[in-house]
Structure 1
């Protein structure tokens, strides 16, 4: 690839790797920047079979984009990490990363040493995180009205979804939301034709094994078996011998006796990780047991946690009845929803668990409704854990203003790296304003001037009117954790990309190796 600009050919070659990677990052960033803010638009992604996904969700867009450039894939991996850590803010992180890399490359071309640019970015990112944290406003309680505003903003202004997520948070409680391994987004599911609902219990996406099994049971006694529910297998060769066949009959009889133990213990709901053999199905049906097969490991674990059951392997059924009794869980009610084709378990005697069921009118919007609700749930939980800050890009501008003051205290060329972070922090507000149909340069300067004049960090732009506004009073707030992780993610990708001085094609290490490595500094077209 040749880069034709005001630089000479020699400059082009010297900075080819930086420019190639910067172009790749910029291309990915451009693909998602139109989705940010209340006036952001959707993206349509089409695969080679014509399957269409329409979404406004940053991480979904990045994951589904057909991207071959290695630097661009690095950016996508960082965005995925952001999603995994806090569940939201991937678009902000991507936009800031694109700006940080572009500004860094510009500084390097101007003659600033790469090491000094990286040093400044590292310092600027660390200070930005500290400043953001200092501006955080703690959430008072699980009933704080700020939480619904958080869910409303992250849920792309879907009032019904914000209400569902807020209601679920109150049911679960603050202590559960602050648990390290609990993610509120994991209890969200959307279904075509369902009614919006939050309830204490869980849904298992399976139908009963046999239509003659009961569709509803009360005083539920649950057995969870992470295995197949069938007799132990014997090799075919062994079956051809008299001893082998006798062994086969003995195992079948033993299996029937083991099933009878469960029936005698009044177990009336059995969930199995693998298949259920015909004989077991018949016995359980006759006994009025509701059985589910091929249940995912994740669902088995959820059922066990909610009902207090202990997960058992098939071999565990050989244990004495009194020992098996200790593996049984309990719940108030389990029933089949024939319309939505799933089983609900409510009132478990183990840990309380809730489910957020989001309705969707058509199959085409089920996925997007679920993504929106998961983002809202993640943001609400992040707010409970780490507090909130003014949204709409206002707090980023406030942090940028403070970094500009600190820049003057930094000696040497590392200050140019801080400029990269400052530019990146201003970018979200500029893009939000642009997506709302206003002049981003004009509005950004208005916000900077007014924040400085009033000594206020909450001044931003009302995207409906284009006027200056207090973001907190408007209810436009964001979780602090989402912001700090976005800055961190953008800084990490910028540093990683700017450290790459040369791009070299690897030698094929397979049987069809083509020869020695070659320099391909211009290999970097972004292929979407």
Structure 2
């Protein structure tokens, strides 16, 4: 319908809304993701550097853990945020390979960028990438080695050592791999809940002073007068765990009690005292020598228990109390009047010990121990925090390896084998448009060994050429030799990784790539706090602005 021979302008979006669309928008999104990859790829591998991230309050985080870096980077570009999601997904699913998945996703985007610019439909690229991903994961499953028949503990230690090779603690890997494997094997082998591995950090001392406690340890809680008179060590004590407050509380501000005689007021006070004394008496009669509660245990109860040679601790953190119950067989009680012997726990030794400047309560030799505690020592707070992140990755790897016994060789060996297979397959079996995309994906896989060499200061071109030759000869596990700057069989060198890490990384990277390629229009409201939409054909250098200011800072709170 026309008015006076002119077609009226129809406004669908309100004024000021920014619209970016078409091929230029896809290229812009790719450039933003490459900028993120450039930031993080220097942390990959055993010789990768660490990033220091400083938030607006000046708090520092020094790390090379991909998931932590991606979480702390203040990424404002909406497409680049997808890389944060895949890093988190990899961390939650397998616990390691978080840097690899971001580097791989960025490289796949970089390789297909020229096809996008040449006018190839993004749907054609997506279809080819999904096909390549399926072929790659099937190839990994085919070449993976099953370690079910081998010594489980020995295999797990090798996997943990590989996970630690790129971390701060790699010099002490022998010490920590034993600790990590012992920790995971102490859990219930059915569910392997990593939350039952308590990690406590105490500044001071050397890394080698770190402890593995086959039981529970937690910091001495807030203590009232009389606490020091309590015994601090028991053999085979009975333990009661409560969710009960043992403290005389002042009345609420608006509480009102009307009495006609002073004696009536005294009766109310006496009743309050009788209630708390009855509770303490009931607890003492259970025969328990250790009383723990989530809620406060006041000075009256502390002194009462001290007079009767009973140890008590109130305001115990929920997760610590839960782990005490798991280890000792106790059950948390919400009453003091109906506690049966079956509700009590026990352990071989209870002791309060001084570690550095802190005092800790230790429960060791627990009969039902399905939990453990790692007490970490170190010179600086940031250093201990990075040790904790490193151990988390190793723990997750060992945990996955118990359930999935297939392994592959690390050091770029697996990626080079899959890359050679895809190149060969594409040349012989795919004559149409998809051939170029699959070969681009195969080339992108080479970024892992290339970046490992770059970060170690090796000649990446020379080593990559030698690796290509070895894999064409059929040496499946030829990878980068970090000890002698060359090429070696990394399966024989015990550079092992769970096959699940590689499979998950490839699948997550391809899914993220396909998602980014499928977005060809961005609509942003004027009120949005993020910077205005990127212009079409944003050059790669300008895409660095996709990671916005405040240094490499933490997200706003």
Per the normalisation by structure 1, the TM-score is 0.85
How many residues end up aligned between the 2 structures? Answer: 504
Cross-structure match for 2:138: 130
Out of 413, 431, 436, the position equivalent to 2:456 is 436
Structure 1, 383-392 or 302-311: larger mean CA deviation: 383-392
8 Å CA contact retained: 1:502, 1:521: no
Cross-structure match for 1:4: none
Distance 2:270 2:23 in 1: 76
Distance 2:249 2:74 in 1: 46
Distance 1:288 1:28 in 2: 60
Could you say what secondary structure the match of 1:105 adopts?
helix
C-alpha displacement at 1:519, in angstroms? 8.5
Distance 2:326 2:46 in 1: 38
Distance 1:440 1:99 in 2: 16
Out of 403, 413, 416, the position equivalent to 2:422 is 403
1:62-461 maps to which residues of 2 (within 5 A)? 62-139=70-147, 140-143=149-152, 145-156=154-165, 158-170=170-182, 173=185, 176=187, 178-183=189-194, 186-193=197-204, 195-207=209-221, 209=223, 210-226=227-243, 228-230=245-247, 235-242=252-259, 250=271, 252-313=273-334, 316-318=335-337, 320-322=338-340, 325-339=341-355, 340-386=358-404, 387-407=406-426, 408-410=428-430, 412-453=432-473, 455-461=474-480
Which gives a bigger RCO, structure 1 or 2 (Cα 8 Å, sep 6+)? 2
Could you say what secondary structure the match of 2:503 adopts?
helix
Distance 1:114 1:265, change over 3 A: same
Structure 1, 373-382 or 232-241: larger mean CA deviation: 232-241
Out of 512, 516, 520, the position equivalent to 1:497 is 516
Distance 2:489 2:178 in 1: 24
Q: Over aligned residues, Cα RMSD in angstroms?
A: 3.1
C-alpha displacement at 1:300, in angstroms? 1.8
8 Å CA contact retained: 1:86, 1:482: yes
Distance 2:248 2:438 in 1: 67
Out of 473, 477, 486, the position equivalent to 2:505 is 486
8 Å CA contact retained: 1:388, 1:479: yes
8 Å CA contact retained: 1:307, 1:349: yes
Gaps of 5+ in 1: 1-11
Deviation string for 1:474-500 (max 9, x for gaps)? 222222222222112212221222221
Distance 2:394 2:277 in 1: 49
Could you say what secondary structure the match of 2:80 adopts?
helix
Distance 2:468 2:189 in 1: 35
Could you say what secondary structure the match of 1:241 adopts?
coil
Distance 1:272 1:468, change over 3 A: same
Could you say what secondary structure the match of 2:291 adopts?
strand
Distance 1:191 1:423, change over 3 A: farther
Distance 2:99 2:67 in 1: 7
Distance 2:525 2:174 in 1: 49
8 Å CA contact retained: 1:193, 1:362: yes
8 Å CA contact retained: 1:232, 1:251: no
Distance 1:506 1:448, change over 3 A: same
Structure number with bigger Rg: 2
Cross-structure match for 1:467: 486
Deviation string for 1:92-116 (max 9, x for gaps)? 1111011122233332222221112
Distance 1:188 1:107, change over 3 A: farther
Distance 1:186 1:496 in 2: 36
Could you say what secondary structure the match of 2:367 adopts?
coil
Distance 1:201 1:161, change over 3 A: farther
C-alpha displacement at 1:428, in angstroms? 0.6
8 Å CA contact retained: 1:132, 1:484: yes
Distance 1:317 1:451 in 2: 70
Gaps of 5+ in 2: 1-19, 537-542, 550-557
Distance 2:432 2:65 in 1: 40
Distance 1:70 1:226 in 2: 46
Deviation string for 1:227-267 (max 9, x for gaps)? 54446886544433349977776455223312221111122
C-alpha displacement at 1:420, in angstroms? 4.6
Distance 1:285 1:415 in 2: 79
8 Å CA contact retained: 2:196, 2:372: no
8 Å CA contact retained: 1:178, 1:385: no
Could you say what secondary structure the match of 2:348 adopts?
strand
